[in-house]
Structure 1
């Protein structure tokens, strides 16, 4: 394991996940929608990932067991999480959706302790508490059972997604190979869903396609590959905690590029999350910490 490498890639993934919604909003202005963006961000990344595998002489073939695992993985993070998260935005605010979705680090930690009988250091526990309180401060007052349910499902599915990478043994596979097949399966699932629901857009402006490609490059090519690297090197718990850096990125960039307001409450929330991430970053590795293998 390489803790510095794991933390770096985990934070980079969170940063990318945080700023790409801005690009996503720009694609909507050019004729796209949530389903189409999620489909194309996976589909357009496949050629890029294929080139990386060929350039590094990584065998493309996978066996039946790996195929099943990758098919399951593709159905979770890039498909079900995205669909339920975007679906929640139609019923409740982004702030409430984000708050509920970020229950996943807590779920990952609980699963590691109760199901996998692993131990969590005091530093990680404190970091998790601070970061969770910070995220909860983004909570807003509107309410919808459907919206809350969808946001909760998105958090549960993403927690399973992170744990599955670690516990299924997929983290031993070359990271870009994991992302390559996850993108293929996710593209297949989303194409079927998009066509069946009549939500898949085939015509966009040139600008829309440009922003869509950027989302594909940053999210499906880079960030989705960085997550397995983070899980492999620091484990699912720490990867989940540093993932809370995402809403901070969204708030700062939303303020800079979309003129979105920032309240004192949001600033305090960001400080608590940063404190949690900082504690995890500075904490010394211990035998009692979550292991990624």
Structure 2
């Protein structure tokens, strides 16, 4: 699902949206659905106290600034190059969690992260990395997403919270952060979409929030940020497949090798967990 994000975001850009507006709508528009499911179907108590708000706010900062930085990078370099740089976050998480937990990574884990990293390097268009701002924003998004992922795993408060309730508050707080950021930075929130484009914006929010973000948060909770991040490199494979089948882009021999490396690294990692 995340693999389709650059394509959807670029479509919104073509209709006048920008990085902050796209991120804002991504977080905001699914909130009523999430709240209704949480309150009336799952019967969750949707109230939170001060001790719960603090970790939710901190993780929302990491989440919202990842959206700002990554989506901003699309303005300066192509989405494929930005995605490749952003996906240095599994390496960052791998190193950071090993230091935090003081556990030596296994040989299998090291080989998997190396295999996935080589795959990402092979599909990176280095000719598209000439714009410093774009490269900087994409790298910054990798660090903010790493922070978001690790904090999400380490926070006992969020781990104990019902999944849909946590999803609701992380996105609600994130939307508020982006709203204030947009007005403090004098960017504003873009609203001049036609009815048909609004439908695309709603679908964009639903797929990325209720689908991709929710599943990522559940995976972090179940298997940890390190393993989730490595498996998430499959998103790049999804982007390439979408480009091949939907956008009629060529699939080169290098891309085939890269996709194979990423897929095999993820498969071996899953097998090693059993």
Report if TM-score (shorter chain) is over 0.5: yes
The match for 2:105 is: 120
The answer to whether the 8 Å contact 1:31/1:208 transfers is: no
Give 1:154's match in structure 2, choosing from 135, 141, 144.
141
Out of 94, 108, 113, the residue aligned to residue 93 of structure 2 is 108
1:196-252 residue CA offsets vs partner (Å, 9 max, x unmatched): 433421120112111111111111122211122111211111100010011111111
Equivalent position SS for 1:250: helix
Equivalent residues in 2 for 1:2-21 (5 A)?
16-21=1-6
Instruction: Give 1:231's match in structure 2, choosing from 211, 220, 235.
Output: 220
Aligned partners of 1:233, 1:205: CA distance in 2, in Å? 40
**Which of 200, 203, 206 lines up with 1:214 in the alignment?**
203
Q: What CA distance in whole angstroms lies between the structure 1 residues aligned with 2:91 and 2:212?
A: 21
CA distance in 1, matches of 2:174, 2:246: 30
Structure 1 residue 71 corresponds to structure 2 residue 60:
no
Report what 2:155 is aligned to: 168
**Counterpart Cα distance in 2 of 1:199 and 1:135:** 35
On the 8 A contact 1:46/1:184 being kept in 2, the answer is yes
Pick aligned residue for 2:35 from 50, 55, 73: 50
Q: 1:10 maps to which residue?
A: none
Number of matched pairs: 269
* TM-aligned CA distance change 1:275 to 1:136, over 3 Å: same
Query: Which shifted more, 257-266 or 47-56?
Result: 257-266
Question: Aligned partners of 1:35, 1:200: CA distance in 2, in Å?
Answer: 7
Normalising by structure 2, what TM-score? 0.92
Q: Residues 148-202 of structure 1, C-alpha deviation per residue, up to 9 Å, x if partnerless?
A: 2211110011011110011122222111111100111111111122234334211
Higher RCO (C-alpha 8 Å, min separation 6): 1
Mapped contact 1:27–1:209 kept (Cα < 8 A)? no
Instruction: Indicate whether 1:192 and 2:177 are aligned.
Output: no
Task: Give me the whole-angstrom Cα distance separating, in 2, the residues matched to 1:284 and 1:81.
Answer: 29
Structure 1: runs of 5+ lacking an equivalent = 1-15, 286-293
Distance 2:9 2:144 in 1: 22
Is the contact made by 1:127 and 1:276 (CA closer than 8 Å) also made in structure 2?
yes
- CA-CA distance at 1:31 after TM superposition: 3.7
Asked if the contact 1:84–1:153 (Cα under 8 Å) also holds between the matched residues in 2, the reply is yes
Deviation at 1:27, TM superposition (A): 2.9
1:35 aligned residue: 20
